[in-house]
Amino acid sequence: MLLKKLVIAEDDDAVAHLVAASLGDAGFLCLRARDGEQALNLVRTELPDALVLDVMMPKMDGIEVCKRIKADVLLSRVPILMLTSLAGVENRVEGLEAGADDYLSKPFDLRELAARVKALIRQSRRERDRNPTTNLPGSQSIEDKVSELLAAKRHFALLYIDIENFRTYADVYGYRKADEVVAHTGKLVLQRSRALAGDPAPFVGHLGGDDFMVICAPDDVGALRGEISEAFHAAVGPLYSAEDLERGFIVLADDDGEVRRAQMMSASVAVLDIKPGDYVSTEALATELTRVKAESRKRTQSGLFALRSPSDP
């Protein structure tokens, strides 16, 4: 596993050594910057997991470094913990308004420093992994959760949810409407998962596109699977034009100019029950889940069909 990388921007050698030693013992790879300009350059070249930044720095102070980092679209994702010997409220406000994500006044407890850095990185990674369409945790968070449950030898279930005939819908209605379908589905899956299950609540994630994952207790699978499918079916109507609704299918022309029809969207839910010791890694589990999903697709009636008139034989 790769070490989390930190840039420590501190001009005082004694403080920098103490901080680097403490955070190094906590499992971080620490890079030292002795002034503000060097700190900014290190963040640009190394893209660290976090920056521990002293306010009082030569060449460029911490406030200016913070402003420049947060003004950069790529660098702005780097969380900044600002250190200062200036204890006044106005100084803390200035740092926070410059874009600092957290603030710690000198002298500080090294245990608190390490805890705050870890918390900032956790929060940053969670936000970075969230899908922008649904605001749900993404693939990395899903993998982390599954790995955690496998390591703990827990009995749990995975529900792999996708939208049948989604691509055809996107081709006909456009990708803005398709994004609305994805956002609506994410909200629906989350609401149904939280409403039906007990404590702990199911983990709901968005793998990308029209693919979602629910991690839940095995006892919740039956009700949850049915609720998601039925709720999607009930909500899908307003996503279509009145003409398509009346017809019961979408009409489109393929690349050869042949007129075809596509069935309406539906939620497909594949289930995998995972008992302690069944899988040694997330990779092995993912392979089996792909197989289960393929089998599930074979049982659906989705797809494109040639559109024939009533007079056709």
Cβ partners under 8 Å of residue 90, min gap 6: none
Pairwise CA distance, residues 92 & 78, whole Å: 19
pLDDT at 186: 94
Q: Determine the 3-state secondary structure of 285 from DSSP.
A: helix
Question: Would you tell me the crossing angle of helices 175-196 and 221-235 to the nearest 10 degrees?
Answer: 140
DSSP β-bridge partners for residue 31:
7
Lowest mean pLDDT among 108-117, 183-192, 260-269: 260-269
Element (H, E) at 111: helix 110-129
Q: Determine the 3-state secondary structure of 256 from DSSP.
A: coil
pLDDT in tens, 243-278: 888 888 888 776 666 777 888 898 988 888 989 888
Residue whose structure tokens are 């911490």:
62
pLDDT in tens, 230-244: 999 888 888 898 988
Q: Which of 259, 289, 250, 248 is nearest to 165 (CA)?
A: 250
pLDDT in tens, 121-157: 888 888 887 888 898 998 888 888 888 888 888 999 9
pLDDT in tens, 277-297: 888 777 888 787 777 777 666
pLDDT at 289: 76
Q: Which residue has the higher pLDDT, 95 or 308?
A: 95
Domains and CATH numbers, the chain: 4-129 (3.40.50.2300), 139-306 (3.30.70.270)
Element (H, E) at 182: helix 175-196
